């Protein structure tokens, strides 16, 4: 009987001692394209492009332009004729208001692909990047500190009144949080200035405007750092008061929702300590819904608060954005809006990854159906 030789299967594993063939380049690219992180990052980049494009065209629909604004200023304050004011203003700016808008847009995108945010229109010889780098640390310190304080207080107090609900502390804090969360930050700022600055005279209004005492030499020394804290105290306090109430209410609601879960009753039946249940089971799970909201807040920290920074003349990015809007400094506005948009988008991506790390039940790497 003739024996038929076995035909080797090309898809079978390689013989012993030979290295297995690695996946092809196309297979790796296909795997990357289907990954969750790649999809989210591409969606984020698309969002940034869309917002940047929308911002570019919207700010140019504002009445007036940098040249017209400066001409009006020269005519009003210096008494120049329109022709004289126009020639003087045109010599200050490298801006052509008659250039087609679509060409301005493509020029801006071309510079943006090289990481160039352009030159400020109203500040001759100053780049938008240098402006942002100069003002951004002040905003990050002030509003970032306020966000950390308000979020921490909101998590702790909301967890406490949610776990021990119905008590005196719950009634007081819930009432306070409901009232304070409905008051805009600029109203709180006006009340603090009028009551404690004007009526009680706990501080002089002129001594809380600015970012630091100009008479103190800049440097990493105690007087300079204390001056920074002194000038940032009221803006930080206002930011905390205007946001801590919403954090308290959100954490309380999330805590009450978590207390109704079965794993809490199981933990109590096992005889675990109240502290272990509060921190390890209730607190961790109740905080998860607030992570995305915190990420959005972190993104908006970059933009600062235009009204508060303007009221206190705090040298942050929000105050600079107000100046850029009033002077129609298109490039500076575009640069600041781009930074804010990028911060919000990527902080949301970070929030998705953080939730997946905090809650193993969330799968960030699930594959799409072919």
Q: Domain of 293: which CATH number?
A: 1.10.3720.10
Residue 365: inside a domain: no
> CB neighbours (10 Å) of residue 290?
20
CB contact set of 289 (below 8 Å; sequence gap of 6+): 250, 254
Kindly report the backbone phi and psi dihedral angles of residue 338, in degrees, each rounded to the nearest multiple of 5, phi listed first. -65, -40
233 within domain boundaries: yes
pLDDT confidence of residue 330: 86
Q: Which of 34-48, 272-286, 307-321 has the highest mean pLDDT?
A: 307-321
Q: What is the largest CA-CA distance in the chain?
A: 116
Would the pLDDT of 236 be above 90?
A: yes
> Token digits for 107?
């020029």
Domain count, the chain: 1
CA dihedral 312, 313, 314, 319 (to 10 degrees): 120
**217 located within any domain:** yes
Per the domain annotation, does 257 fall within a domain?
A: yes
pLDDT-based confidence at 18, cuts 50/70/90? very low
**Residue 324 to residue 331: CA distance in whole angstroms:** 9
3 state DSSP class of 183: coil
Residue 280 in any domain: the answer is yes
Residue 288 lies in a domain: yes
- For residue 89, give the nearest of 65, 67, 63, 122 by alpha carbon: 67
SS3 per residue for 196-250: HHHHCCCCCHHHHCCCCCCCCCCCCCHHHHHHHHHHHHHHHHHHHHHHHHHHHHH
Tokens of 89: 């203003």
Per-residue pLDDT band at 285 (split at 50, 70, 90): confident
pLDDT tier at 247 (50, 70, 90 boundaries)?
Answer: very high
What is the SS3 string spanning 85-142?
HHHHHHCCCCCCCCCCHHHHHHHHHHHHHCCCCCECCCCCCCEHHHHHHHHHHHHHHH
Please tell me the distance from the alpha carbon of residue 69 to that of residue 65, in angstroms, as a whole number.
Answer: 6
Q: Residue 82 has what pLDDT?
A: 66
Q: Is 235 exposed, middle or buried (0-12, 13-18, 19+ CB in 10 A)?
A: buried
Say if residue 244's pLDDT is above 90.
yes
pLDDT at 298 (0 to 100): 80
Q: Write the DSSP symbol of residue 283.
A: I
Separation of alpha carbons 343 and 300, rounded Å: 7
List, for residues 186-233, the tens digit of each pLDDT value.
Answer: 899 999 989 988 888 888 877 788 888 888 888 888 888 888 898 999
**Tens digits of residue pLDDT in 110-145:** 888 888 888 888 787 788 999 999 999 999 999 889
Domain around 319: 130-323
User: What residues have CB less than 8 Å from 89, skipping those under 6 apart?
Assistant: 67, 70, 71, 74
pLDDT of 32 reads: 65
CA distances from 219 to 20, 138, 222, 226 (A): 61, 15, 9, 11
Mean pLDDT confidence for 59-70: 77
The answer to whether 202 and 196 have CB atoms below 8 angstroms apart is yes
Residue 310 lies in a domain: yes
Does some domain include residue 48? no
């Amino acid at each position: 009987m003739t024996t038929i030789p076995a035909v080797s299967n090309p898809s079978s594993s390689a013989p012993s001692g030979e290295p297995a063939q690695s996946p092809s380049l196309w297979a790796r690219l296909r795997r990357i394209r289907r990954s969750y992180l790649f999809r989210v990052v591409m969606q984020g980049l698309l969002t940034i492009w869309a917002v940047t494009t929308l911002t570019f065209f919207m700010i140019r629909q504002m009445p007036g332009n940098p040249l017209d604004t400066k001409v009006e200023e020269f005519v009003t304050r210096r008494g120049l004729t329109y022709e004289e004011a126009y020639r003087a203003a045109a010599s200050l700016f490298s801006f052509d208001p008659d250039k087609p808008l679509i060409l301005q847009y493509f020029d801006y995108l071309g510079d943006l692909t090289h990481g160039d945010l352009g030159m400020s229109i109203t500040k001759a010889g100053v780049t938008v990047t240098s402006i942002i780098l100069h003002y951004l640390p002040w905003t990050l310190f002030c509003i970032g500190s306020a966000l950390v304080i308000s979020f921490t207080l909101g998590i702790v107090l909301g967890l406490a009144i949610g776990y021990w609900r119905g008590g005196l502390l719950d009634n007081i804090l819930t009432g306070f949080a409901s009232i304070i969360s409905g008051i805009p930050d600029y109203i709180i700022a006006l009340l603090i200035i009028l009551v404690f600055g004007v009526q009680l005279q706990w501080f002089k209004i002129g001594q809380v405007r600015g970012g630091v005492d100009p008479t103190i030499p800049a440097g990493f020394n105690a007087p300079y750092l204390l001056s920074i804290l002194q000038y940032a105290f009221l803006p930080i306090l206002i930011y905390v008061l205007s946001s801590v109430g919403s954090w308290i209410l959100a954490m309380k609601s999330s805590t009450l929702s978590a207390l109704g879960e079965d794993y809490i009753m199981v933990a109590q039946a096992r005889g675990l300590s109240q502290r272990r249940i509060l921190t390890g089971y209730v607190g961790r799970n109740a905080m998860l819904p607030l992570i995305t909201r915190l990420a959005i807040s972190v993104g908006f920290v970059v933009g600062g608060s235009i009204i508060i920074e303007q009221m206190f003349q705090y040298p942050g990015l929000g105050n600079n954005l107000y100046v850029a809007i009033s002077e129609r400094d298109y490039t500076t506005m575009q640069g600041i809006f781009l930074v804010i948009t990028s911060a919000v988008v990527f902080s949301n991506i970070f929030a998705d990854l953080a939730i997946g790390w905090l809650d193993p039940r969330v799968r960030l790497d699930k594959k799409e159906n072919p």
